[in-house]
Structure 1
C-alpha cells in the first residue's frame, strides 16, 4: 500500500528531501528517509541518549530546508516534575545532503554525563519501491577518508561526524560521550554524490521575494511559506544549469513534469520570468520528434515527465521519458504567450518560435486522433496512464451516475487550452511579424463545435460536460474542469458567468477551495484523488480564470477559501486535501498520501496575490491594469518590490479595494 505522508516533517532543497517523524527520527517506515533524486539514501537516522529516545514535545519547520525537533531527556537532571535536560535536533537540508546539530541543553543543578548515539542505515531504494509500500535490504557501509560511505554504482553517500564511528553490519553507529553543564553541540553531515543524475539544483536562480503586507496575516504567512517552498523545488538539467524549472513535488514527483512545471511557472508570473523561460526551454529541448506508441511521443508534443530510469508502480510501466499527456503542449504555448506579455525578452521568445510552430502542428492536427475535431487521448502502449489530463487516475473520468467513461476521451478543459493556444499564438506571431497560418479560423471552428457537442443539462444545471467518451457521448458529471475554460476565450461572457455561479455553488465550493467533482454526483468521495478532493492548484487556476473573465467577486471569494484552508497545513499547501465542506468539519482534513510541498500548489499563492491586486500586465503594449476586488478579500494590501519589466512595481490597496498608491517601472503606464 502507498505510504502516507500527512503526519511527517519534511525539509528539502532540490534535489534532496528529508522526511521524518515529527519527533525528528528517521525509522525507515513508509517514506521516511533522505531521498536524493529518485533514490532513498538514508533509511534510518535514530538518536538516543543513554539508550532512551527523547520524549518529543514539539517541532518547527522555520523554512523549507529546515526542521527543529525538541525532546525531553527525563532520565537525566534534577529530580522532580520539571524537566531540566532536553535535546534540540536542528536539521538543515542542502542540495547535496543534510547536516544536523544535536544540541543538549541543561538547567540542572549539577552537570550531567551521558552517551549520545546516532544509528544510521541506507538502502538506496528507488522511489517506485517506496511508493509501492515495499522495502529494500540495507547496504553495507565501508570506511573511507573523512567518514563512512555507502555506494551503489556511481551514487554514493558519505557520513562525517565529530563523534566516534563504528560499522556494525548494515548500520553506522556514532557515539558521543559528553558532559553537559549548560549546553553541548554535536554534529553530523551526510553528503551525496550522483554524477549521472539528470537534474541538478536550480541554484542559478533564486526567486525574488517582494515585501507583502496585509491586514489578513493568514495570507502573508501563506505567501511567505509558498515562495520559500517554490524556491526549494527549483531544478535544472545537468547540461543546462541556468534553465531552472520547478520539480513537481516531494517526494513522489521530484522531477520534471511538463504539465506541473508549466502550471507552476504560469501561476508564479510575474514573480520570475527566469523560471518561465527556463521551463519553456527545458521542455522545448525534449519536444517530440517522431511517433512512438511505447512512450507516447509524437512530433511537436511536449513531454509529460522525465526520470532517471523507467517508473513502474501500481500496474503502470512508464519509460524514463514519457509523453502521455494531452494538455502539456497547449499549456506550453500558453506559458510562452503569458511570459511574453509579462516581459520575457523578445530574443528569448523568437528563439522558441520553431518549437511554437511544432507545438501548433501537434495541436491543430495530430492531437485529434480520430478526426472528430477534438483533442483526445488513448494509451496505445497498454502500460501507461489510462487518463492523460491533469486528473490522471484511472477512475477520474466518470459520468454523473458514477460510471467510468471508456476511451478515447476528449476532455473539456483541453479544448479550452487548445483554443487559447491557437488564438494567443496568432497574436504573438502577428506581433513579431510572422504568418499566423489560419490559426484564428481553426480556433473559431473549434469554438463552434464545442458549443454544439459539450454542453449538457442535468439536475445540477446547464454546463459543459467533463468530456466526450469513446462513443462521443458527453460525460455529464459536474466537475472543476469546467472552471479551466474561464479566461481561455472559448466561452462567451454569458457562458462564463453561468459557469462562475455553478463553481461557487455548495456542491463544488467546499468552503476550503474547489472540489474536483460535485458532491451530488455518483462516484463522489471527499477522499478520492480526483473525484471530490480539493487541489489548491485547481482552485487557483479557476481563481485566475474568474479574474480574467471579469468575475472579481467570485475570484476573491474562492481565493479567500484557500487562504482559510492553508493554516490547517502550517501554510504549506499540499498537493491536495479532502473535499469535506466547512459544514462537515471546522478545518480541512488531509489527503494522507499527498505530496508536500507541491510546486503548483505553492505557486497558487502568487496567483492569489495577482488576483487580489486585480493585476494584468502587457509589457509589449506598455500597459499595467489594476482592478482589485471590492472590498479587498484580505483587507488593506501593500506590495513592495514586485519584479516587472526590469524594475519593480509598488502598490497599496485599501480595504475597500481602492488603489491608493502606485509606482510603476519606467515605460509602463496604468491602463
Structure 2
C-alpha cells in the first residue's frame, strides 16, 4: 500500500474477481491481473510482505519457480515477475499476464453491488481513458516465449499508472515528500520485543497512510476501504500520534478547516461551524454525499486537537490562523440546548458517534436507542473543547472565553444529574441518553473516553476505572459487556475490541491517576499484536485471552487510528505530558513495566530521548533552551 493506492489479492497473488484489484484514489484501475505459464496458473507456495509498500508471492510451474514482487506507488503499481529454471534440463514456457480494469468505485465494490462496468483489457503501451476522464496506462511485457537453461531466469516488469480527471472537488492525493518523522522515526527498546515491533510497525503504517490536501498532510482512515479523509478518524489519529510531531495534527486541522460547514443543508447534514465526517471524490461517492457532515463529535475533536497540538509545539502563528475555525466550531456546540446530540438518517448514517453501525448504541436489554441520541463521550469531548477553546481564546487575546467556561460547567452539571446509572456493582455513566431522555444502560467502552477530559470528578473517574475492568478481554477492552443482551464478540461494535478505543481509555486512565489499570490494558494490546504480525487491525474479536485473538473478517489493516496506538502507548508508558507554552515536558513512567528506551520523540523542533530504568528512575535528554524536564514517580 502507498496511499491513495492499494493492491488487494489472495495469497496466490492472482487478481481475478470479488474485491481484488489495484485501487488508486478510490477507483479500481485493475480488476484482473492473472499470471499463467503454459496456460495454467502456477501452484502457490508462499506469500508475504516485501518492503514497506509491497508483497512477494512464490509459486511453481513444473521445473520453473515463479516469483512475483508487487509494489504500490501513489498513482498505481508495479509487478516484477521472475521465472527461474530450477530443474537440471532446459525448459521452455509461455508466460502470459491477463490484465484488465473496470474503474469501479471502491464503495461499490465493497457493498457487493455490480458496478455494471465492462473490463478493458490492457497490454504493453495501452492507455485507456474511461468514460469519466480517468486514464490508465500499462507498460511492460505481458506475453513472452521463454527458453531457459538450468539456473537461468527471465524477468518482466509491468507498470500501471492512473490519472484521475481534472475535475473540481475533493480528491485524495499523495504528499509531496516523506513523513516529517521519516528520517528519525520513533523507536522503542524494551524488555518486551512485542512492544518494540508494534511501535515500529505502527509508525511505518502511519507513514504509508499519509495523504495531502495541498501541502497539508493527514492520514487516510484505513486500507482498503477508507483511503480518504475522515474527520473523526484523522483527528484522533493525529492526537494519538503527537509523539511523532505536531505537523500531522496541523495538516489535518487545516485540511478539515477548508471544508468546515458554512450553511445548513439537510442532504449533506452540513451546518455552520461543523467539521465534516467523510470526503470522497464525486466520481467515487455512492450512498453518501461526496462531502458528508454526519458526525456528532468531529467538531469538538477539532478544537481539542488544535489545543493539544499547540502544547506539543505547533507554532503560534499556525494556531492563530485556525482560531476563527475554533470560534465557529464552538458556536456550533452552542446551538444545543441541553446535550450535544444527533438524530441520524436511515438512508445515510443512523448513528453518528464513533460506534456508527446501525445497532451500535443499545440498551442492556438489546433495545436500540431511539433518537435524538446524546452520547456520553460526545459530552466529554464537548466539555473539553469548550474549556480548551476558552484557553486558546485567552492566550491569543480573543473574546468569549468566559462564556465557554460557563457553558462547560453547566454541561458537566447536567451530565452528572442525568447520565449516571445506579448499579449494585457500582454506578457508571450510560452510553447515551435516548430520545426519551432515558439512560442507555449497557456497560460499554464509551465511558473510557470520559477519563482525563475534565468532565468527571476524581471520584467519578475512579468509579469509571473500576467498571472498565468488566470489559477487559485480556487483549484489550470489549466495546460492550458480555452481560448485555446484544453482546457478540465478533460484532462490529457490540463486544469486539478496537485497539484505538482501548488506547484512548489507557491515556485517560494515566491522566486521571490510574496507571496500574492502564498498564493492564496496555499489556493486553501488546500481547495481541503478534497474532496480527504486530500490525493491530481496525478491530478484532472480543473473546477472552484463553484463546488467540480472532480476526474480524473485513477489518481495515493498516488502519490509521489503530496504527496510532503505537505512539499513544509510548505516551502512556512514559506518562508523557508536554506543554511547550508552559515550558515543560513531564515524565511519570508507568510503575512495573520495566526498562524502556524511547528515541526520537518530536516536541516542537526538538527531538528528545527518554530512558526508564528497571527501578523506575527516568531521564529525558535533548531538551532545548526554554523547556524544562519534570520527572515524577519512582524516578523523581
Relative distance call for 1:116 and 1:299 in structure 2 (3 A) is: same
C-alpha displacement of 1:148: 4.8
Which residue in 1 is equivalent to 2:279? 306
Q: Which moved more, 1:193-202 or 1:242-251?
A: 193-202
The residue number in structure 1 matching 2:118 is 138
Q: Quote the Cα distance in structure 2 between the aligned partners of 1:270 and 1:433.
A: 29
Listed as ranges, the gaps of 5+ residues in structure 1 are 1-11, 77-84, 166-173
TM-score w.r.t. structure 2 length? 0.94
Aligned equivalent of 1:610, options 553, 568, 571: 571
Query: Which residue of structure 2 lines up, in the alignment, with residue 390 of structure 1?
Result: 354
Q: Which residue of 2 aligns with 1:468?
A: 433
Alignment of 1:184-223 (within 5 A): 184-196=154-166, 198-208=171-181, 209-223=185-199
State whether structure 2 residue 484 is matched by structure 1 residue 484: no
CA distance in 2: counterparts of 1:299 and 1:660, whole angstroms: 47
Instruction: Quickly say closer, same or farther: Cα 1:537–1:627, change in 2 above 3 A.
Output: same
1:270 aligns with 243
Higher strand share: 1
Shift of 1:277: 0.6
Which residue number in structure 2 is paired with residue 424 of structure 1?
A: 388
Task: Give the corresponding residue for 2:24.
Answer: 36
Task: Give the whole-Å Cα distance in 1 for the aligned partners of 2:144 and 2:118.
Answer: 21
Q: Tell me the equivalent position of 1:149.
A: 128
Equivalent residue number for residue 458 of structure 1: 423
Residues 1:52 and 2:17 are matched in the alignment: no
Q: Distance in 1 between matches of 2:285 and 2:582?
A: 48
Offset of 1:195 from its aligned partner?
3.6
Match of 2:537 among 566, 574, 581: 574
Which residue is equivalent to 2:83?
104
Gaps of 5+ in 2: 631-636
Change (3 A) 1:548 1:558: same
Change (3 A) 1:465 1:176: farther
Match of 2:218 among 245, 263, 270: 245
> Partners of 2:46 and 2:330 in 1: how far apart?
53
**What are the residue-to-residue correspondences of 1:529-540 with 2, within 5 Å?**
529-540=492-503
Distance 2:564 2:176 in 1: 18
Normalized against structure 1, the TM-score is what? 0.89
Residue of 653, 657, 665 corresponding to 2:616: 657
> Are the equivalent residues in 2 in contact too, given 1:116–1:178 (CA < 8 A)?
no
| Corresponding pairs, count | 621
Specify the alignment match of 1:91 in structure 2.
70
**Aligned twin of 2:339:** 374
Q: 2:90 touches 2:147 (CA, 8 Å); kept in 1? A: no
CA contact (8 A) 1:207 1:227 kept: no
1:433 Cα deviation after fit: 2.5
Contact in 2 for aligned 1:460/1:478 (Cα 8 Å): no
Shift of 1:62: 3.8
Listed as ranges, the matches of 1:277-292 within 5 Å are 277-292=250-265
| Cα distance in structure 1, aligned partners of 2:451 and 2:39 | 60
Shift, 1:542, TM fit = 0.9
Structure 1 residue 260: deviation in Å? 0.5
Q: Secondary structure at the match of 2:507?
A: helix
Distance (whole Å) between structure 1 residues aligned to residue 127 and residue 365 of structure 2: 59
Question: Is the CA contact (8 Å cut-off) linking 2:132 and 2:165 kept in structure 1?
Answer: no
**Quick one: which of 295, 303, 326 aligns to 2:268?**
295
Match of 1:402 among 358, 366, 377: 366
Which residue in the other structure is 1:169 paired with?
none
State the alpha-carbon separation in 1 of the partners of residues 570 and 57 from structure 2. 32
Please show how residues 434-453 of structure 1 align to structure 2 within 5 Å: 434-435=398-399, 436-453=401-418
Confirm or deny: 8 A CA contact 1:63 1:228 kept in the other structure: no
Q: Are 1:332 and 2:302 counterparts?
A: yes
What is the CA–CA distance in structure 1 between the aligned matches of 2:568 and 2:265, rounded to whole Å?
36
Question: Are the structure 2 counterparts of residues 142 and 401 from structure 1 closer, same or farther at C-alpha, using a change threshold of 3 Å?
Answer: closer
**CA–CA separation in structure 1 for the residues paired with 2:85 and 2:577:** 56
